[in-house]
């Protein structure tokens, strides 16, 4: 038991020392995670959908990181042709960072899958039950991060996601926005 | 004269040896990446492009020869039906020019893949047809190296499906699927963009 506590303390102290470097602009080895609320708007309609999302990001270079995101819709949306009863997205991508000191503006691209539950509201499709469809998504993101403390940062970002409407011809492209507080830990000694 | 011949001989030998050192530099590299593919010319889809997502890993067999192992999910639709293609396969990539991991690095590729296709009528999701088939693909592409370990890829390839194929007949908004066996080749143009990261070497080049 004592040995475990000592190991944990050594690991914690080591990571604390590593984390100081983040404030000086060094990002290589940084592991970060956030969760936030993502309001989004469909581009081809006036529909708005809110998501709860979270991501994990790892910097394998001072200027590049790998990032995975997951989103779950919080509300149903409906227009004259369909009702969207649920949406879940899982995406992976790479970000390019323009880090300078505590600031880290970035652009990124990602791809992934989206699971949609939709029901038609058109009279001709009235008898159809809600359908579930898995479809590919891809997109771009842009934003910035501000590392104000060795374990925490603020961020603001916007995402453009391209996806088809799997239930009728057309697209379900959307733009989402978020900002918040993130947690980071440096895993590498500089 | 003898000395000149000897120097010339030594120069050629040393040059080929140093070339050998450069040539073996990237052998054994393992890359992983994500990619997005756009599919054109699906004959069951009235030319509507499909959009796909997928992943791949690469194992570099020699400095000029790479192998790409991929899985893609491609979705497309028109006003009558939707089509889902699942591709899993591999390609061999050959680098005819530059062998260094920097800047642009064009390649030619050829390979094989297995394909599962599902067609579904939009207004009646119980009306569906599917098929397994095999395919061959070939094309051109290029890497662009952001760093020695991270590269962006753009490639264009033509994929030709061999074996069973699906035909769609639409009459008065009713969709009929016909499954035909034979060697008729149907295909599509696939444009892929992706990003790959070099995890390291699986083995050292000799």
**Which CATH number does the domain housing residue B142 bear?**
2.40.160.20
List residues bridging with A152 in a β-sheet.
A149, A183
Asked if the C-beta of B82 comes within 8 angstroms of chain A's C-beta atoms, the answer is yes
**In which domain, by residue range, is B124 found?**
28-201
- pLDDT range class, residue B10, cuts 50, 70, 90: low
Interface test with A, best of B36, B76, B170, B191 (most A CBs within 10 A): B36
Where do we find the tokens 């479809």?
A135
pLDDT, average across residues B165-189: 77
Secondary structure (DSSP) of chain A: -HHHHHHHHHHHHHHHHHHHGGGGT--TTEEEEEEEEEEEEETTSS-EEEEEEEEEEEESSSSEEEEEEEEEE-S-EE-SSEEEEEEEEEEEEEEEE--BTTEEEEEEEEEEEEEEEEEE-SGGGTTPPPEEEEEEEEEEEEEEEEEEETTEEEEEEEEEEE-B-TTSSSB--EEEEEEEEEEEEE-S--
* DSSP for residue B64: T
Please state the domain extents for chain A: 2-186
Q: Which of A29-38, A76-85, A87-96, B32-41 has the lowest mean pLDDT?
A: A76-85
Q: What is the pLDDT of residue B174?
A: 81
Count CB atoms within 10 A of the CB of residue A177.
Answer: 15
pLDDT(A8) > 70: no
pLDDT(B13) > 80: no
In a domain, B97, yes or no: yes
pLDDT, average across residues A174-190: 90
Residue A158 or residue B9, greater confidence: A158
| Predicted confidence (pLDDT) per residue in B90-135, tens digit | 999 999 986 788 889 999 999 999 999 999 888 788 889 998 988 9
- Domain over A2-186 is classified CATH 2.60.120.620: no
Is A111 close to B125, i.e. CB distance below 8 A? no
Q: What is the pLDDT of residue B78?
A: 82
Mean pLDDT, chain B, rounded, equals 83
Q: What is the pLDDT of residue A39?
A: 95
In a domain, B3, yes or no: no
Tokens of B2: 């003898």
pLDDT(B20) > 50: no
Angle at B72 between CA B70 and CA B78, to 5 degrees: 155
Q: For the complex shown, is ipTM > 0.90? A: no
Residues of B within 8 A of A134 (CB-CB) are 73
> What residues 158-177 of chain A have any CB closer than 8 A to a CB of chain B?
162-164, 166-169
The number of distinct structural domains making up chain B is 1
User: Do residues B156 and B130 lie in contact, with contact meaning Cβ atoms separated by under 8 Å?
Assistant: no
pLDDT(B198) > 80: yes
- pLDDT range class, residue A45, cuts 50, 70, 90: confident
**CB-CB: which of A60, A135, A163 is closest to B197?**
A60
Asked if the C-beta of A154 comes within 8 angstroms of chain B's C-beta atoms, the answer is no
Is B146 close to A96, i.e. CB distance below 8 A? yes
- pLDDT range class, residue B21, cuts 50, 70, 90: very low
| Spatial separation of the C-alpha atoms in residues B19 and B25, rounded to whole Å | 10
Kindly report the pTM of this predicted structure: 0.80
Asked if the C-beta of B172 comes within 8 angstroms of chain A's C-beta atoms, the answer is no
% of chain B residues with pLDDT over 70: 81
- The three-state DSSP-derived secondary structure of A56-83 is EEEECCCCEEEEEEEEEECCCEECCCEE
- State which H helix or E strand residue B2 sits in: helix B2-23
In a domain, B49, yes or no: yes
| Predicted confidence (pLDDT) per residue in B125-172, tens digit | 888 999 898 899 999 999 999 888 899 999 999 998 887 778 888 887
Chain-centre distance of CA A43, in angstroms? 19
Where do we find the tokens 């020392």?
A17
| Predicted confidence (pLDDT) per residue in A83-116, tens digit | 888 899 999 999 999 998 899 999 999 999 999 9
% of chain A residues with pLDDT over 90: 50
Q: What is the pLDDT of residue A93?
A: 93
Is A111 close to B35, i.e. CB distance below 8 A? yes
In a domain, B131, yes or no: yes
Is A66 close to B197, i.e. CB distance below 8 A? yes
Residue B27 or residue A166, greater confidence: B27
| Spatial separation of the C-alpha atoms in residues A138 and B36, rounded to whole Å | 7
Residues of B within 8 A of A164 (CB-CB) are 51, 75-77
- State which H helix or E strand residue B65 sits in: strand B65-77
| Spatial separation of the C-alpha atoms in residues A37 and A181, rounded to whole Å | 11
| Spatial separation of the C-alpha atoms in residues B138 and B189, rounded to whole Å | 10
In a domain, B13, yes or no: no
Q: Where are the beta strands (DSSP E) in B122-149?
A: 124-145
- Closest CA of chain B from A2, distance in Å: 36
| Predicted confidence (pLDDT) per residue in B75-85, tens digit | 988 888 888 99
In a domain, B10, yes or no: no
């Amino acid at each position: 038991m004592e040995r475990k506590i000592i190991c944990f303390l050594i690991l914690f102290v080591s990571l604390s020392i590593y984390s100081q470097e983040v404030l000086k602009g060094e990002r290589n080895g940084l592991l970060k995670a956030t969760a936030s609320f993502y309001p989004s708007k469909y581009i081809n309609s006036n529909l708005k959908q809110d998501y709860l999302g979270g991501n994990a990001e790892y910097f394998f270079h001072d200027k590049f990181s790998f990032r995975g995101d997951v989103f779950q819709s919080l509300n149903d949306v409906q227009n004259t042709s369909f009702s969207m009863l649920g949406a879940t997205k899982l995406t992976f991508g790479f970000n390019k960072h323009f880090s300078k000191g505590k600031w880290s503006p970035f652009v990124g691209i990602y791809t992934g899958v989206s699971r949609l539950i939709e029901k038609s509201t058109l009279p001709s499709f009235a008898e159809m039950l809600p359908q579930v469809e898995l479809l590919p998504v891809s997109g771009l993101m842009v934003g910035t991060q501000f590392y104000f403390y060795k374990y925490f940062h603020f961020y603001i970002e916007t995402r453009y996601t391209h996806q088809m409407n799997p239930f009728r011809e057309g697209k379900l492209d959307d733009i989402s926005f978020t900002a918040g507080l993130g947690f980071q830990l440096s895993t590498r000694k500089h | 004269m003898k000395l000149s011949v000897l120097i010339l001989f030594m120069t050629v030998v040393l040059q080929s040896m140093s070339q050998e050192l450069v040539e073996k530099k990237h052998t054994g590299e393992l890359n992983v990446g994500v990619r997005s593919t756009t599919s054109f010319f699906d004959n069951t889809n009235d030319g509507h492009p499909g959009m796909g997502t997928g992943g791949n890993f690469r194992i570099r067999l020699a400095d000029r020869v790479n192998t790409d192992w991929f899985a893609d999910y491609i979705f497309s639709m028109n006003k009558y039906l939707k089509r889902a293609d699942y591709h899993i396969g591999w390609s061999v990539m050959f680098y005819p020019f530059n062998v260094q991991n920097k800047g642009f690095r064009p390649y030619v590729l050829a390979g094989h893949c297995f394909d599962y296709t599902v067609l579904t009528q939009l207004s009646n999701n119980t009306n569906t047809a599917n098929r397994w088939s095999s395919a061959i693909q070939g094309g051109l592409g290029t890497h662009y190296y952001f760093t020695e370990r991270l590269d962006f890829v753009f490639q264009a390839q033509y994929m030709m499906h061999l074996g069973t194929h699906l035909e769609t007949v639409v009459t008065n908004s009713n969709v009929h699927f016909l499954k035909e066996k034979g060697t008729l080749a149907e295909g599509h143009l696939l444009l892929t963009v992706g990003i790959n990261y070099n995890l390291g070497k699986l083995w050292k080049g000799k």
